[in-house]
């Protein structure tokens, strides 16, 4: 069996260190050199010849994170690594998964092409914005399910039979239904219409939430406009409490202020993206153990789906 080595890009080193520790090894030694104009040049400070190399890097902005990842993959292939597996806890550009209006790009397909073009043998990611993005790749994709971490936490809240799961938009209905199935709970959906990106024109709640403990579920939270608006509407409909789960905490622009001023009792996120600022309303659950187990299963050729709820 090939030797396993885990490396990290600079943006996800905090996460990669926890994954490596959970796997039972140390993070590999690599250096990122930068020219005075910002151009990057990664270098592995140890031999990786014949090794199975896992490179951990989320591709949240800036785009340098994606470029650094591709350079690291290329360097590993040229250093005769046996296999190079890209571990991308947060897959950037995933919201651009289709041509929803004329003359636009499909950004997630561009990212898929870029990762494959530098020679990656496999991709591991979590809670994609749209599951069909896996089809943009001609290499194996391990799509981990964050519910393996979130469901046990929700159970610890002991909300009993009063629990209802909600999707902040129609597109996330499948995700809310999956959570509800684990608890035997009902679901509601918030139907929204956008005027433009990051701006909601209208929203309405479909379903009964009166006197219930509601948990909104989504794959990411960016400006928090959708989530906080949905929470407010649900509360106005008579909900007893409103919480939210969002795997990837992008939290850009006015997000933090909106969350702190919202009716949300709690926002539960993962550590796939580092928090820009802490808040008493935000709870972070680590996905490092989940990724460590997935890496172990890839190496030993065991089932990845066995890690799902």
Q: What is the pLDDT of residues 110-134, one digit of tens each?
A: 999 999 999 999 999 999 999 999 9
- As a whole number of angstroms, the distance between CA 67 and CA 62 comes to 10
Structure tokens at 212: 């219930």
pLDDT category at 193 given cuts 50, 70, 90 is low
Number of domains in the chain: 2
What is the distance between the alpha carbons of residues 171 and 174, in angstroms, rounded to a whole number? 7
CATH of the domain at 183: 3.40.50.2020
Q: Are 236 and 213 in contact (CB under 8 A)?
A: no
Active-site positions read 192
| Residue in 269, 271, 245, 225 with CA at minimum distance from that of residue 18 | 271
Task: Give the number of other CB atoms < 10 A from CB of residue 115.
Answer: 22
pTM here is: 0.93
What is the C-alpha R_g of the chain? 20
Residues 109 and 153 in one domain: no
Residues 224 and 239 grouped into a single domain: yes
Q: Indicate whether 299 pLDDT > 80.
A: yes
Does one domain contain both 162 and 173? Answer: yes
pLDDT > 90 in the chain, percent: 87
pLDDT at 195 over 80: no
Q: What pLDDT digit, counting tens, does each position of 131-172 carry?
A: 999 999 999 999 999 999 999 999 999 998 899 999 988 888
Pair (37, 121) in one structural domain: yes
**296 has pLDDT over 80:** yes
């Amino acid at each position: 069996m090939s030797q396993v080595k885990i490396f990290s890009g600079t943006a996800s080193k905090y996460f990669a260190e926890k994954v490596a520790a959970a796997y039972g090894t140390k993070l590999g030694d690599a250096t990122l050199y930068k020219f005075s104009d910002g151009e990057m040049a990664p270098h592995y400070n140890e031999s990786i010849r014949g090794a199975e190399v896992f490179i951990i890097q989320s591709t949240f902005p800036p785009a340098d994170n994606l470029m650094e990842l591709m350079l690291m993959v290329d360097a590993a292939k040229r250093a005769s690594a046996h296999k190079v597996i890209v571990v991308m806890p947060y897959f950037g550009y995933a919201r651009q998964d289709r041509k929803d209006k004329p003359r636009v790009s499909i950004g997630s397909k561009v990212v898929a092409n870029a990762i494959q073009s530098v020679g990656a043998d496999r991709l591991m990611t979590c809670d994609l914005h749209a599951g069909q993005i896996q089809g943009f790749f001609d290499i194996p994709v391990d799509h981990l399910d964050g519910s393996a971490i979130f469901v046990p936490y929700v159970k610890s809240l002991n909300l009993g039979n009063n629990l209802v799961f909600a999707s902040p938009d129609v597109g996330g209905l499948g995700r809310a239904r999956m959570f509800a199935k684990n608890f035997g709970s009902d679901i509601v959906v918030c139907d929204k219409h956008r005027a433009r990106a990051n701006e909601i024109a209208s929203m309405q709640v479909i379903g009964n939430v009166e006197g219930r403990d509601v948990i909104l579920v989504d794959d990411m939270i960016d400006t928090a406009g959708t989530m906080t608006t949905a929470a407010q509407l649900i509360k106005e409909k008579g909900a007893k409490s409103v919480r939210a789960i969002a795997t990837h905490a992008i939290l850009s622009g006015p997000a933090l202020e909106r969350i702190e001023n919202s009716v949300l009792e709690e926002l539960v996120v993962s550590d796939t993206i580092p928090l820009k600022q802490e808040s008493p309303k935000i709870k972070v659950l680590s996905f490092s153990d989940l990724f460590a187990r997935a890496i172990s299963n890839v190496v030993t050729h065991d089932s990845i789906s066995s890690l799902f709820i």
